[in-house]
């Protein structure tokens, strides 16, 4: 065969098809990355199915991740979006979860990557604005160590979906009770949002909410103002009177930067450690990092969700960024 001096290069994609979202694994199979053709990206650790990065088309990071976060599976990740299940905090007076560690085991278990799906069902008619990619992860008792199983001996199945669109990120958790007896649980999407200056931030959408103030003895309070500002350690569990579809907004310097809409999650935790607490957290870095983060955490954590055998519970959040 005669060689040709100018051979055609391999095609990057099938002719006639719009560019597709790309999904790849790290060399050690510890994390999954998804990138839209327009540049937006997410990165998810299989450890905890923890979203550790969410960037817009310009490469600007939208989540806060501690510089001292452990990403090797030795400790729950400080930052990103850890998953809290089946207990929020600790519950020494709750028989089913009293022996479990802080925030349960979902955030410290290795999840299985189940696959991806995209919005590209009809490529010829789709536009860049329609693009999205969904990553699915699964967790069952088979992934738990014997110690955890002994402390929470229920048969369950969890599916966690992370969907990246051009201007939003949706995270959805479905819990199935596959046991022959009921169990009670709590769940929370422990989202660390990145902000430029916490002193210029207002949180709106909680004006009609009651809340538990965990900094002040877990006292029950009623929101008095239309916007919440952060000027010290804040750890509050809000239960808005408005529907979950009504957004909670993060406004910085007068501009809305994030809106958070919940699905079937009645509570919203607002957390910032401030100076003293940040200094006391070994994996929180830099220590001044509290100025650049704000946790807005949709969940079901006031009381318990009871799942009878065969029942399922689903909760989700959609975070939209304003450009």
* Sequence ranges of the binding site: 78, 102, 107
Question: Would you list which residues are annotated within the binding site for substrate?
Answer: 78, 102, 107
**Alpha carbons 246 and 205: distance in angstroms, whole number:** 7
Long-range Cβ contact pairs of 18-24 (< 8 A, separation 24 or more): 18/120, 18/123, 18/124, 18/126, 20/118, 20/120, 21/116, 21/118, 21/120, 21/131, 21/132, 21/133, 21/164, 23/116, 23/133, 23/135
Edge-to-edge, what's the strand order for the sheet holding 248-252? 112-118, 132-139, 156-165, 168-177, 312-321, 255-263, 248-252, 201-204, 227-229
- What is the Cβ-side half-sphere exposure of residue 163, based on CA atoms within 13 angstroms? 19
**Alpha carbons 189 and 202: distance in angstroms, whole number:** 20
**Alpha carbons 103 and 91: distance in angstroms, whole number:** 9
Question: Of 203, 249, 207, 206, nearest to 229 (Cα)?
Answer: 203
Residues with active-site annotation:
190, 297
CB 272 within 8 A of CB 294: yes
**Alpha carbons 255 and 7: distance in angstroms, whole number:** 53
């Amino acid at each position: 065969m005669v060689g040709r001096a100018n051979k055609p290069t391999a095609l990057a994609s099938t002719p006639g098809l719009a560019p597709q979202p790309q999904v790849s694994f790290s060399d050690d199979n510890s994390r999954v990355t998804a990138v839209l053709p327009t540049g937006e990206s997410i990165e998810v650790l299989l450890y905890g199915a923890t979203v550790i990065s969410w960037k817009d088309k310009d490469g600007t990071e939208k989540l806060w991740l501690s510089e001292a976060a452990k990403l090797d599976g030795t400790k729950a990740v400080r930052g990103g979006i850890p998953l809290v299940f089946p207990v929020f905090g600790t519950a020494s007076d709750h028989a089913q979860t009293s022996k479990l560690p802080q925030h349960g085991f979902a955030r410290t278990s290795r999840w299985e990557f189940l696959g991806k799906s995209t919005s590209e069902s009809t490529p010829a008619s789709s536009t860049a604005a329609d693009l999205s990619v969904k990553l699915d992860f699964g967790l069952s008792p088979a992934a738990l160590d014997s110690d955890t199983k002994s402390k929470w001996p229920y048969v369950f199945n969890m599916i966690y979906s992370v969907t990246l669109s051009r201007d939003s990120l949706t995270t959805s958790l479905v819990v199935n009770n596959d046991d022959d007896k009921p169990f009670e649980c709590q769940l929370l999407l422990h989202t660390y949002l990145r902000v430029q200056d916490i002193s210029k931030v207002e949180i709106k959408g909680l004006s009609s909410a009651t809340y538990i103030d965990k900094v002040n003895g877990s006292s029950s309070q009623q929101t008095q103002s239309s916007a919440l500002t952060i000027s010290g350690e804040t750890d509050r569990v809000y239960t808005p009177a408005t529907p979950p579809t009504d957004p909670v907004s993060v406004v910085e310097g007068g501009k809305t930067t994030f809106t958070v809409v919940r699905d079937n999650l009645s509570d919203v935790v607002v957390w910032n450690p401030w100076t003293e607490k940040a200094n006391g957290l070994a994996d929180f870095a830099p220590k001044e990092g509290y100025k650049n983060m704000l946790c807005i955490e949709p969940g079901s954590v006031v009381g318990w969700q009871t799942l009878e055998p065969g029942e399922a519970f689903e909760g989700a959040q959609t975070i939209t960024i304003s450009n």
